[in-house]
């Protein structure tokens, strides 16, 4: 069993590295799309920022995990990961349209809009992950 695991280790490391890179790129894109600095807000103890960002990251990670489980190549992972990222960014923009005060509510620490955004991100991420089964 150990020899087989050792032969699979390079593939595991490659998929894990690409997934971490995708998460990093998504985080960078997401925090640049939002008009407030989630990282600074979280460092200041803003729970609303932590909830909304966590929902977005988890909503992105679900389809990435699903693609890892079902893809044949790292290129598949990268392509579908990019699509998942775009969908999550569009989800935020849709929430911003539906909740026009969102750009003020999150920095103000209001949890209701943050929870709504997080649940929307998770719901879209789960649906997105299901659609990426082939």
Query: What is the model's pTM?
Result: 0.93
Listed as own residue / partner, the contacts of 62-65 with beta carbons closer than 8 Å and 24 or more positions apart are: 62/122, 62/125, 62/126, 62/128, 62/129, 63/87, 63/125, 63/128, 63/129, 63/132, 64/19, 64/22, 64/23, 65/19, 65/129
Q: Is residue 101 part of a domain?
A: yes
pLDDT score recorded for residue 30: 98
CA 62 to CA 132: how far, in whole Å? 10
pLDDT, one tens digit for every residue, the chain (134 residues): 778 888 899 999 999 999 999 999 999 999 999 999 999 999 999 999 999 999 999 999 999 999 999 988 999 999 999 999 999 999 999 999 999 999 999 999 999 999 999 999 999 999 999 998 76
Per the structure, how many domains does the chain have? 1
Q: Is residue 3 part of a domain?
A: no
Q: Is residue 36 part of a domain?
A: yes
Estimate to the nearest angstrom the gap between the alpha carbon of 33 and the chain centroid.
13
Q: Is residue 4 part of a domain?
A: no
User: Which structural domain, as residue segments, surrounds residue 42?
Assistant: 22-131
CA 134 to CA 132: how far, in whole Å? 6
Q: Is residue 107 part of a domain?
A: yes
Q: Is residue 118 part of a domain?
A: yes
pLDDT score recorded for residue 65: 97
pLDDT score recorded for residue 2: 76
Backbone angles phi, psi at 35, to 5 degrees: -85, 5
pLDDT score recorded for residue 134: 64
């Amino acid at each position: 069993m150990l020899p087989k695991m050792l032969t699979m280790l390079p593939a595991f490391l490659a998929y894990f590295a690409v997934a971490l890179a995708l998460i990093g790129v998504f985080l960078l894109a997401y925090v640049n799309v939002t008009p407030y600095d989630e990282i600074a807000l979280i460092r200041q103890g803003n729970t609303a920022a932590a909830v909304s960002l966590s929902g977005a990251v988890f909503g992105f990670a679900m389809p990435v995990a699903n693609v890892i489980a079902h893809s044949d190549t790292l290129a598949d992972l990268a392509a579908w990961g990019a699509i998942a990222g775009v969908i999550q960014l569009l989800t935020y923009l849709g929430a911003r349209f539906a909740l026009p005060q969102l750009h003020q509510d999150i920095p103000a620490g209001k949890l209701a809009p943050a929870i709504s955004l997080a649940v929307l991100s998770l719901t879209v991420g789960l649906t997105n992950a299901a659609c990426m089964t082939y």
